[in-house]
Amino acid sequence: MRILVTGGQGQLAWALGKILKGALLLPRQELDISDMEALENALEKHRPEIVINTAALTDVDRCEDEPERAFMVNGIAPGWLGELAHRFGFILIQISTDYVFGGEKGEPYTEEDCPSPISVYGNSKLVGENLIKASMDSFYIIRTSGLYGPRRKNFVKLLLERVRKGEKPVVVKDRFSSPTYTLELARQIKVIIEKSPPFGIYHAVNHGSPSWYDFARKVLEYSGLSPDAVQPVSSEDFPQRARRPAFSALKNERLKELGLDVMSDWAGALRSFIEEYKP
């Protein structure tokens, strides 16, 4: 099966390359998804059966400063991929985010919950979802959360770097999410490709909803460092450029109903990452 992965230098793309043997990973230097002509040329050249779009502007604060760029990369470009799917006949797998939700629910969001983003990033990703849904039927929109893995910068690696330098980082104690290991998400995507469930929106995260502070303590514990090296702080005392949802954890309800959920709980996934890659 011919699989093309956009955003080929990202951490999820790297994991997909490990799990989906033979997949073609195209970095931004080779394929800028915000260039319609480049998209058409790449699709004409490679004729993929499946396109997995991992390309995105994911710096939440940068999106506030560069909204036009955010909406182009996260919104309009995925819509173009949806339109081009008709011409080239591929299935589109779009990676989306928990930040399409506002965090008011207070418990994990399912695929049936109505999005209500509170940031430019969340809004731009929701535009991408909606444009895909409006332009095609053969798509999987996979919402995930808090990705970390062996490649690129992420919360786990940056936290460990800072603590090993002798710093004592502050981490918010009142925001809850579903941190997800990229290799597990890649395995879940492989299952979706192989089993071909009904098209639509799916949530795919490691199970559970820790606070970022509790997650940080586990990172240090599993790495043989003192969990007390991180200091809890409330979100009110830790202002950031973009608003973040207080509770954006997701629930893999559709995958579970179909018997296709292969994701671990968040603590088990984190331990596997730490033990295997020793970041």
Please report, for the domain that includes residue 40, its CATH number: 3.40.50.720
- The residues annotated as belonging to the active site are 121
Q: Which residues contact residue 209 at a Cβ distance below 8 angstroms, ignoring those fewer than 6 apart?
A: 107, 108, 176, 177, 178, 247, 249
* pLDDT (tens digit per residue) in 62-107: 999 999 999 999 999 999 999 999 899 999 999 999 999 999 999 9
Domain annotation covers residue 9: yes
Round to whole Å and give the CA distance between 34 and 40.
Answer: 11
CA dihedral 222, 228, 229, 230 (to 10 degrees): 90
Domain annotation covers residue 148: yes
Provide the pLDDT confidence category of residue 135 given band limits of 50, 70 and 90: very high
Q: What is the mean pLDDT of residues 210-235?
A: 97
Total tally of structural domains belonging to the chain: 1
Domain annotation covers residue 80: yes
Provide the pLDDT confidence category of residue 202 given band limits of 50, 70 and 90: very high
| Residue 193 lies in domain | 3-152+179-206+251-256
Domain annotation covers residue 76: yes
Domain annotation covers residue 38: yes
Over the Cα atoms of the chain, what is R_g? 18
pLDDT at 278: 86
Q: What is the mean pLDDT of residues 186-215?
A: 98
DSSP 3-state of 148: strand
Domain annotation covers residue 245: no
Domain annotation covers residue 89: yes
Domain annotation covers residue 64: yes
pTM of the model: 0.97
pLDDT at 26: 97
Return the H-helix or E-strand segment holding 143: strand 139-144
Q: In the structure encoding, which two tokens stand for residue 224, read together?
A: 């043989």
